[in-house]
Structure 1
């Protein structure tokens, strides 16, 4: 056992925690929309954002007009079906992630990307504010059609940061990923506990 494991360093696959058994958290009911967490109509799309602690990030998106479903979970790592407690150790390789289901006729991918960039600091590497570790790194997980828009928005926002003398963006943008739902008690956490922890802060705020 490595007693001096650095949570700001990505875990090597051979050292990651072992996979867990599959679960059915995706069938839980959304506290706001009253649908299953994995509900999606044919007219809707999905994109995934990691921007620090997922509690505040999820609330930000469920309050966005045109978003029809949200869920918190984990992506970008190694361990299958990780728990929140396991992910917090940094030994799964995952980052806290929000699944955002939306109606593109009401809110566009570009509008969601703007919300993402403007509501956290995408230049902090393996942390977000006082939340430190790979589990809090900034990332966008998207499909191949969304990738071009995500890369263009990153370039545009990077210029804005450069203009104010800010550090370079460290956000990962990936199309090859698996999203795992977090435990039910973490879903819509700030609807259950409105005064709960939320560290969401934008660079321009």
Structure 2
């Protein structure tokens, strides 16, 4: 198993979508690549993300990038749907240079690559989100989500 951290706006929908993908064995809602965390739960500079453990013989980082592009507006900076701010930026983060190379290759192959606002960066840090955010849309399916319901269940 290998792990990448995928940011695609509000983590509730991203987790609901990613956990349905072939080869994905585990997901966890969290926050990546921030500058600090206070005791009150403020996550300075963090991107909402989903820790994604996957079987690379079933799904690749290139595949995961393709799936990410199904649920985001890749040209939007710090916004997905009605969610606005730096914590809603899009990106892929990893501790493995091979993952970053593969993600960058995916972006470089796109004819619109100069307009894409998706980060591909080494994982600097990660914080697991509170239990109330884990599998949130399973618990509260009518909560707001920027991803249409028909897209969330596309790979089930």
* Higher RCO, Cα 8 Å, sep 6+: 2
> Is 2:117 aligned against 1:170?
yes
Q: Which of 16, 20, 26 is 1:69 aligned to?
A: 26
Give the CA deviation at 1:156.
2.2
The CA RMSD over aligned residues, in Å, is 2.0
SS of the counterpart of 2:64?
helix
Which is worse superposed, 145-154 or 192-201?
192-201
Answer yes or no: is the 8 Å Cα contact 2:45–2:87 preserved in 1: yes
> Is 2:44 aligned against 1:103?
no
Deviations 1:25-84 (A, max 9, x none): xxxxxxxxxxxxxxxxxxx0101111101100001111112111001111121014776x
- d(CA) in 2 for partners of 1:93, 1:132: 13
Give the CA deviation at 1:200.
2.0
Which residue number corresponds to residue 154 of structure 2?
A: none
Which residue number corresponds to residue 54 of structure 1?
A: 11
- d(CA) in 2 for partners of 1:103, 1:168: 31
- Structure 1 unaligned runs (5+)? 1-43
- Structure 2 unaligned runs (5+)? 152-156
Which residue number corresponds to residue 130 of structure 2?
A: 183
Answer yes or no: is the 8 Å Cα contact 2:32–2:123 preserved in 1: no
SS of the counterpart of 1:96?
strand
Structure-2-length-normalised TM-score: 0.86
- d(CA) in 2 for partners of 1:82, 1:45: 31
